[in-house]
Structure 1
Amino acid sequence: MSEAPTLDYEHRFRSSGARLLAGIDEVGRGALAGPVSVGIAVIDLYQQKLLADVRDSKLLKVADRERLVPLVKGWSVASAVGHASANEIDALGIIAALRLAGTRAWLAVLAAGVTPDVVLLDGSHNWLSPETQPSLFDDGPVEPGCDAPVHTLVKADMQCLSVAAASILAKVERDGMMRELHTQFPAFGWDENKGYGTAAHKNALRAAGPTPYHRVSWQLLAD
């Protein structure tokens, strides 16, 4: 198994006066079908202990990820997963859809009575901070989202325990959604490929065309 992530990087934020840190990661960004999902795991920088066996979700077996979900939820000060649908991705674009999914997760954390002081986001680009974006409906812009300082770190899911924990929550919840959708459209193999562009998935697309859960604004059959 890979080297275990720690809280060493997160603890650097104590010097700025932060106490509650939200580790955030996304899954499903590169899929052809299904939602993009964003997980949040909030930790107390002065209280949290290490949590055994947690790794970036991509490095764990299915059974291990699912076993860890209740442990991560119990370990976190607060946690949530937000989603943006394929239709929302088509309407808004992937970056705005990531922001929308992240905003939904962020608002769920706030609704639980927890307000993080700082965010640690996996990657090199801050797609989470609010921007004015069109609503899918006729009621104006989407609700304001994360207003805490956002810090990005490439491969944070590999080295930072809070972000690895968030990746597990997002991955397990999204995978469960794709398994449910597989029962409606079994030809696409979403129970296995989770909406990503495998050869079998693309062959099914050529034969049957897209479903309502495909991101039709994308070049679905591009190599």
Structure 2
Amino acid sequence: MTKADLRHERAWLREGPLLVAGMDEVGRGALAGPVSVGVTVVRATTRPCPAGLTDSKALSAAARERFEALVQTWAVAWGVGHASAAEIDEVGIIGALRRAGERALSRVEAACGPVAAVLLDGSHDWLTPPAQGDLFSAADVGPARAVRTLVKGDLRCASVAGASVLAKCERDRIMTALAAGHEAYGWDRNKGYGAPDHLEALRTSGPSEHHRRSWRLPGVGSAPASACEMMVP
């Protein structure tokens, strides 16, 4: 198993920023529930990360819970932001990711001050606001930040790996809580993803208020054209 470290963060910190935030999302491909974005912040004096820290997908549920507590005490600051299924339907998945990311950054900046450098997992910068005049309102636009993307950042960068663990743990708890009132969908087990029990419940019961209704949900039919136009690939 690949273990994350702080090499990428320290290299960027040597260029001048006082703080670097690692960011990762969870729930992007789910059919129901929010999309969640985690952030962990490090500085030049941050000690090495908890031993064994890696992408949340490579950890068991028990290991994620253990690392969640370790990351919260290790990071300079941390936060998780969420955007609901209704918001995903409103502005598309990219706009919702941006909202959740800005909410997470607002939480960490309340604790540690402005963060001007963000390491983002993957190859696509969904955090930087688009040009004015598109679908997204000024409410979705945060302060200007330098963003660097890194493929497999959740495996390579400790701050990004920590962010993935925090986001996964919080979102799992949200889906387990939502499952209590929507037992047929099995969200306590599948966390809103397209598992067989979830798909069968969609076919027999239809979507709930927590489903992403602008998506082409299996067994439900096509999304409305107006909703599909809101989606950003």
Band the TM-score falls in, shorter-chain normalisation: over 0.9
Q: Which residue of 2 aligns with 1:175?
A: 172
Q: Cα RMSD over matched residues? A: 1.6
Look up the SS of the partner of 2:167 in the other structure.
helix
CA-to-partner distance for each residue in 1:44-101, whole Å, 9 max, x for gaps? 1333323112110001111111111121111111100000000000010000000010
Q: Which residue of 2 aligns with 1:220?
A: 217
The ranges of structure 1 where at least 4 consecutive aligned residues each deviate by more than 4 angstroms after the TM superposition are 132-135
Decide which of 203, 206, 216 is 2:203's aligned counterpart: 206
Establish whether residue 126 from structure 1 lines up as the match of residue 119 from structure 2.
no
Distance apart, 1:148 and its partner CA: 1.8
Distance apart, 1:134 and its partner CA: 5.7
Relative to the length of structure 2, the TM-score reads 0.88
Answer with 87-96 or 66-75: which moved more: 66-75
Q: What residue identity is the alignment partner of 2:200?
A: N
Once residues 18 and 122 of structure 1 are traced to their aligned partners in structure 2, the CA distance between those partners, rounded to angstroms, is 19
Identical aligned residues as a percent: 50
Once residues 42 and 15 of structure 1 are traced to their aligned partners in structure 2, the CA distance between those partners, rounded to angstroms, is 15
Once residues 108 and 34 of structure 1 are traced to their aligned partners in structure 2, the CA distance between those partners, rounded to angstroms, is 21
Establish whether residue 116 from structure 1 lines up as the match of residue 101 from structure 2.
no
Once residues 49 and 13 of structure 1 are traced to their aligned partners in structure 2, the CA distance between those partners, rounded to angstroms, is 16
Q: What residue identity is the alignment partner of 1:185?
A: H
Establish whether residue 32 from structure 1 lines up as the match of residue 31 from structure 2.
yes
Once residues 62 and 98 of structure 2 are traced to their aligned partners in structure 1, the CA distance between those partners, rounded to angstroms, is 29
Q: Which residue of 2 aligns with 1:80?
A: 79
Decide which of 153, 156, 160 is 1:156's aligned counterpart: 153
CA-to-partner distance for each residue in 1:100-138, whole Å, 9 max, x for gaps? 100111111122242223110001111111345667xxx
Q: What residue identity is the alignment partner of 1:72?
A: V
On the 8 A contact 1:107/1:145 being kept in 2, the answer is no
Distance apart, 1:146 and its partner CA: 4.4
On the 8 A contact 1:130/1:146 being kept in 2, the answer is no
Answer with 182-191 or 5-14: which moved more: 5-14
Summarize the Cα distance change of 1:57–1:70 in structure 2 as closer, same or farther, 3 Å threshold: same
Q: Which residue of 2 aligns with 1:99?
A: 98
Establish whether residue 192 from structure 1 lines up as the match of residue 196 from structure 2.
no
On the 8 A contact 1:40/1:79 being kept in 2, the answer is yes
On the 8 A contact 1:78/1:114 being kept in 2, the answer is no
Q: What residue identity is the alignment partner of 1:61?
A: S
Q: For structure 2, list consecutive stretches of 5 or more residues without a partner in the other structure.
A: 220-233
Relative to the length of structure 1, the TM-score reads 0.92
Look up the SS of the partner of 1:16 in the other structure.
coil
Summarize the Cα distance change of 1:159–1:113 in structure 2 as closer, same or farther, 3 Å threshold: closer
On the 8 A contact 1:134/1:141 being kept in 2, the answer is no
Q: What residue identity is the alignment partner of 1:49?
A: P
Look up the SS of the partner of 1:38 in the other structure.
strand
CA-to-partner distance for each residue in 1:13-61, whole Å, 9 max, x for gaps? 1331123110000000000000000000001133332311211000111
Distance apart, 1:141 and its partner CA: 3.0
Q: What residue identity is the alignment partner of 2:36?
A: S
Q: For structure 1, list consecutive stretches of 5 or more residues without a partner in the other structure.
A: none
